[in-house]
Amino acid sequence: MPTDEIKQRLKSAWVWQKQLEADLQMLQDLRDLSEQITPVYSLAPGGGGSNDKLAGTVAKMADVEMSIKNDINQLTEALAATRALIKMLDDEKLQLILFKRYLNYQRWEVIAADLGYSYRRVTQMHGEALVKIAKIS
């Protein structure tokens, strides 16, 4: 498997995490909107008004909640796949670098500072880890 494909697989958890965050924000926005809609009751026949808006908002909320459930499932699978790829390595330092980058979503500068390496060395070790995983898989 090429290193670019490995990198994409490692990044997939981050992508699903961001999708989940976006859907959660959308759900919160819809909840806020639904609290602002004031129902208007009338004895006159006819439809429409805020009741339709409320019903539409509730329907959208249900759709987003289903999307969130899907995001959680996809994120769980992506995290498991990412962990499995990382555990293929026998070098604990390389595992730690990949863990911090792809499961903790840390920036290279933070990883370098935490491990006491230069930025350049951490990115080199990252490349070494990708090559080792490519050879194993």
Evaluate the CA torsion angle 79, 81, 74, 10 in order and state its sign: positive
What are the tens digits of pLDDT across the range 51-96? 577 788 889 999 999 999 999 999 999 999 999 999 999 999 999 9
Q: How distant, in Å, are the alpha carbons of 50, 122, 133 from that of 4?
A: 51, 18, 11
CA distance 68 to 63: 9
pTM of the predicted model, to two decimals? 0.77
Tokens read off for 20: 């989940």
Q: Which amino acid is at 16?
A: W
What are the tens digits of pLDDT across the range 119-135? 999 999 999 999 999 99
Indicate the helix (H) or strand (E) that contains 69.
Answer: helix 50-87
